[in-house]
Amino acid sequence: MKPFAIYLCGVGGQGIGLLSEILLRAADYAGYVAKAVDTHGLAQRGGVVVSHIRLGETVHTPLISAYGADLVVGLERHEALRGAQAMLRDGGALVYFDTVLQPLGVRLGTEAEITNADVDRACAPRGIAVHRMTCPNLADPRMQNIVVLGHLHLLGLVGEVAAEHSLRAMDDLLEGSALAANVGLFRSIAANDRQTP
Amino acid sequence: MKNMGGMLLTTTPFSEIVMGNTALVRAMVEAGTRVVTSYPGSPTPEIATAIQSIPPDKRPFYFEFSTNEKVAAEVAFGASINGHLATVFFKSVGLNVAADSFVQFSLMHCLGGLVVVLGDDPGANSSQNEQDNRHYARMSYTPVLEPANPTEVYEYYLEAANLARATAKAIILRLTTHVCHAKERVAFKGWSPPAAYDDQPRFDPTRGSYIPITARVFPPKREALAALGRVERWVDERGLHRVIGSGGERGLITSGMVALSAREVLAEVPETLEKPAILKLAMPYPLPVRAIAEFLAAHREVKILEELDDNLEKEIKALAYDQGLTTRIIGKSELDDWVGEYTPDKVRAILHRTWPDLVPVPRVATTAMPVPLRPAQMCPGCGHRSAFHAIKQALPADGAITVADIGCHTLGFQEPYRMGEVLLCMGASTGIGSGLSLFNHSRPVVAFLGDSTFFHAGLPGIVNALFNRHNLTLVLMENGTTAMTGHQEHAASGRNANGPVEAIPVRRVLEGLGVRNIFEVDTYRQKELTELMRQALAQDGFSVVIARHPCMLLFTRNQRRKSGYQARHVHIDQGTCARIHTCVQTFACPSFSRAADGSVSVNPELCIGDGSCIQTCPTGAIARAGQEGGTP
Mutate to test the interface with A, among B178, B258, B361, B371 (most CBs of A within 10 A): B371
Angle at which helices B526-538 and B383-392 cross, to 10°: 50
Tell me the shortest Cα–Cα distance from A191 to chain B, in angstroms: 25
Q: Residues B45, B74, B27, B6: is their CA dihedral positive or negative?
A: negative
Of the given ranges (A82-96, A106-120, B161-175, B555-569), which has the lowest mean pLDDT? B555-569
CB B130 within 8 A of CB B121: yes
The C-alpha torsion from B336 through B340 and B345 to B350, rounded to 10°, is 30
3 state SS of A10? strand
B363: nearest CB among A60, A67, A107: A67
CB B506 within 8 A of CB B546: yes
| A57/A60 Cα distance (integer angstroms) | 8
User: pLDDT per residue over A125-150, tens digit each?
Assistant: 999 999 999 998 898 888 999 999 99
* Chain B, nearest residue to A42 by Cα: B126
Identify the pLDDT of residue B632. Answer: 37
How far is the CA of B294 from the CAs of B231, B236, B280, B291, B299, in angstroms? 19, 13, 13, 5, 9
Query: Would the pLDDT of B518 be above 90?
Result: yes
Tell me the shortest Cα–Cα distance from A32 to chain B, in angstroms: 11
Identify the pLDDT of residue A197. Answer: 36
Query: Would the pLDDT of A42 be above 90?
Result: no
Tell me the shortest Cα–Cα distance from A118 to chain B, in angstroms: 8
Identify the pLDDT of residue A196. Answer: 38
Query: Would the pLDDT of A40 be above 80?
Result: no
| B416 inside 8 A of chain A by CB | yes
Test B408 with A106 for CB contact under 8 angstroms. no
B485 contact residues in A (CB cutoff 8 A): 43
Test A86 with B182 for CB contact under 8 angstroms. no
Mean pLDDT of chain B: 95
Q: pLDDT band for position B341 (50/70/90)?
A: very high
- Please, which residues have CB within 8 angstroms of residue B585's CB and are 6 or more apart in sequence? A107, A108, A109, B416, B594
Tell me the shortest Cα–Cα distance from B581 to chain A, in angstroms: 9
CB A161 within 8 A of CB A23: yes
Test A36 with B376 for CB contact under 8 angstroms. no
Query: Would the pLDDT of B175 be above 70?
Result: yes
User: pLDDT per residue over B230-270, tens digit each?
Assistant: 999 999 999 999 999 987 899 999 999 999 999 999 999 99
Test B594 with A100 for CB contact under 8 angstroms. no
CATH 3.40.50.970 fits B4-232, yes or no: yes
Query: In B195-317, where do the E strands start and end?
Result: 242-244, 250-255, 277-281, 301-304
Assembly ipTM: 0.96
Average pLDDT over residues B172-197: 97
Average pLDDT over residues A71-96: 97
In chain B, what percentage of residues exceed pLDDT 70? 99
Identify the pLDDT of residue A26. Answer: 98
| B328/B317 Cα distance (integer angstroms) | 9
Tell me the shortest Cα–Cα distance from B536 to chain A, in angstroms: 30
Q: Find the largest Cα–Cα distance for chain B.
A: 85
Test A62 with B126 for CB contact under 8 angstroms. no
Test A66 with B377 for CB contact under 8 angstroms. no
Q: Which of B139, B383, B108 is nearest to B219 (CA)?
A: B108
Pairing of the two strands B170-176 and B114-120: parallel
Q: Which of A4, A67, A70 is nearest to A33 (CA)?
A: A4
| B233 inside 8 A of chain A by CB | no
- Cis peptide leading into residue B43 (ω within 30°): yes
A109 contact residues in B (CB cutoff 8 A): 581, 585, 594, 598
Test A107 with B369 for CB contact under 8 angstroms. no
Q: Which of residues 61-120 of B touch A (CB under 8 A)?
A: none
Q: Which of residues 542-561 of B touch A (CB under 8 A)?
A: 553
Test A113 with B596 for CB contact under 8 angstroms. yes
Mutate to test the interface with A, among B374, B414, B565 (most CBs of A within 10 A): B374
Mutate to test the interface with B, among A8, A22, A45 (most CBs of B within 10 A): A45
| B626 inside 8 A of chain A by CB | no
Q: pLDDT band for position B627 (50/70/90)?
A: low
B178: nearest CB among A28, A37, A67: A37
Identify the pLDDT of residue A43. Answer: 53
| B267 inside 8 A of chain A by CB | yes
Please state which architecture CATH assigns to domain A4-190.
3-Layer(aba) Sandwich (3.40)
User: pLDDT per residue over A158-194, tens digit each?
Assistant: 989 999 999 999 999 999 999 999 999 999 998 764 4
Q: Where are the domains of chain B?
A: 4-232, 242-354, 383-558, 566-632
- Cis peptide leading into residue A141 (ω within 30°): no
A78: nearest CB among B263, B374, B377: B374
A122 contact residues in B (CB cutoff 8 A): 368-369
A-B Cβ pairs (cutoff 8 Å, strict): 173
A41 contact residues in B (CB cutoff 8 A): 125-126, 376
Query: Would the pLDDT of B570 be above 90?
Result: yes
What does pTM read for this prediction?
0.96
Which of A41-45, B51-55, B212-216 is most confident?
A: B51-55
Query: Would the pLDDT of B398 be above 80?
Result: no
| B318/B519 Cα distance (integer angstroms) | 60
Tell me the shortest Cα–Cα distance from A166 to chain B, in angstroms: 14
| B105/A11 Cα distance (integer angstroms) | 42
| CATH code, B566-632 | 3.30.70.20
Tell me the shortest Cα–Cα distance from B394 to chain A, in angstroms: 23
Q: Where are the domains of chain A?
A: 4-190
How far is the CA of B221 from the CAs of A160, B133, B226, B285, B594, in angstroms? 58, 20, 9, 17, 64
Q: Which of B224, B212, B119, B222 is nearest to B168 (CA)?
A: B224
A104: nearest CB among B362, B375, B379: B375
Tell me the shortest Cα–Cα distance from A97 to chain B, in angstroms: 13
User: pLDDT per residue over B101-136, tens digit each?
Assistant: 999 999 999 999 999 999 999 999 999 999 999 999
Identify the pLDDT of residue B630. Answer: 42
Please state which architecture CATH assigns to domain B242-354.
3-Layer(aba) Sandwich (3.40)
| B414 inside 8 A of chain A by CB | yes
Tell me the shortest Cα–Cα distance from A169 to chain B, in angstroms: 9
Q: pLDDT band for position A44 (50/70/90)?
A: low
B593 contact residues in A (CB cutoff 8 A): 100, 102, 106-107
* Chain B, nearest residue to A169 by Cα: B1
Please state which architecture CATH assigns to domain B383-558.
3-Layer(aba) Sandwich (3.40)
Test B376 with A12 for CB contact under 8 angstroms. yes
Q: What are the φ and ψ backbone dihedral angles of B263, each rounded to 5 degrees?
A: -65, -40
Q: What angle do CA B261, B265, B267 make, to 5 degrees?
A: 115
B42: nearest CB among A43, A58, A174: A43
Query: Would the pLDDT of B579 be above 90?
Result: yes
Q: Residues B87, B88, B91, B94: is their CA dihedral positive or negative?
A: negative
User: pLDDT per residue over B3-53, tens digit each?
Assistant: 999 999 999 999 999 999 999 999 999 999 999 999 999 999 999 999 999
CB B453 within 8 A of CB B506: no
Tell me the shortest Cα–Cα distance from B383 to chain A, in angstroms: 14
Q: Which of residues 312-341 of B touch A (CB under 8 A)?
A: none
Q: pLDDT band for position B367 (50/70/90)?
A: low
* Chain A, nearest residue to B551 by Cα: A44
B2: nearest CB among A34, A66, A172: A172
| A144/A139 Cα distance (integer angstroms) | 10
A81: nearest CB among B177, B178, B369: B369
Test A60 with B267 for CB contact under 8 angstroms. yes
